[in-house]
Amino acid sequence: MIDVIAIVGPTASGKTALSLELAKRFNGEIINGDSMQVYRGMSIGTAKISIEEMQGVPHHLLDIKEPEESFSVAEYQGLVRSKIEEIQSRGKLPILVGGSGLYVQAVLFDYRFTDGQVDEKVRAALYEELEQFGPQHMHDKLMAMDPATDIHRNNTRRVIRALEILESGDQQADRSLALSPIYNEVIIGLDIDRDVLYQRINERVDVMLEQGLLDEVAALRDRGVRDTQSIQAIGYRELYGFLEGTVDFGEAVSQLKQNSRKYAKRQFTYFKNKLPIFWIDAIADLEKNIQEIEAFMQEKDRARRIEIIAVKNKD
């Protein structure tokens, strides 16, 4: 049987609606796969699902950290794997939902962190990439791999060091397209026309502002949240700039929309390069997508059973 379903896709692609329907269809419980939705007091800017929107489906690993606290991929990996076991013990299907590609990858595959040990070939390649494309490119690359990073874009040495550890860890496990899986997983990706997606992102930002995003950001600032990992999130760092007088409101909103669109593009790049995904059309009929997913799950489950039988016969 399928152990875990993961639903990935860029911001505003429709992951929540799909995850709820799959959870109801397959007796599932949903695990947060977004690195910023772990923080309390950051609901509007992270598009966190509300209690009413959950429709009675259990959700896990939301609001587990204060905004002042740090959060790492390694910590997330341990928390989610424990949560997967807990959900399975109740006879339910874990459904991991989010847009943080590295976080999903670290949970589902044999992704081992290096504890500071760096592959010298990785280091050399990164510095070569830095020389060719510049510091902003390297920070964008880090943000795509670890959106929760608190490393400032101007601290190039730390950016490179973080990339060294992440990419060396990736290489220690397996440098192929898909690392060695530790579950019989299905990863569903939501594909969507870029122009449609960017329009959705712009509209979502407008809705967030109407819902009180500026007040949410101001409340964090008023409680003294400064220079933390949490406020590096898109939507927070731009409005902090407005509240601190470095940009006017119109420019802050423009930056927020632009950075959200750039982040969506990086998400697509990561998903398509790093994860073995079954892609569906995000704007297609929901029932049609569910049927396609169910057929794919059945096919993968049959292939897995055949593989297990072949191994047993070989032994």
Does 11 count as an annotated binding residue? yes
Give dist(CA 214, CA 216) in Å, integer: 5
Within 13 A of 40's CA, how many CA atoms are on the CB side? 7
Does 70 count as an annotated binding residue? no
Contact of 163 with 130, CB cutoff 8 Å: no
Does 16 count as an annotated binding residue? yes
Beta bridge partners of 185: 4
Does 14 count as an annotated binding residue? yes
Please classify residue 175 by burial: count the beta carbons closer than 10 Å to its beta carbon, then call 0-12 exposed, 13-18 middle and 19+ buried: exposed
Does 33 count as an annotated binding residue? no
Give dist(CA 266, CA 251) in Å, integer: 22
* Tokens coding 220: 């964090």
Does 12 count as an annotated binding residue? yes
Give dist(CA 73, CA 81) in Å, integer: 12
Does 72 count as an annotated binding residue? no
Residue 175's φ and ψ, nearest 5 degrees, are -95, 10
Instruction: Find the DSSP H helices in 114-222.
Output: 120-133, 135-145, 156-173, 194-211, 213-222
Does 91 count as an annotated binding residue? no
* Binding-site residues: 9-16
| Numbered residues of the known binding site for ATP | 9-16
Question: Which residues are known binding-site members for substrate?
Answer: 11-16
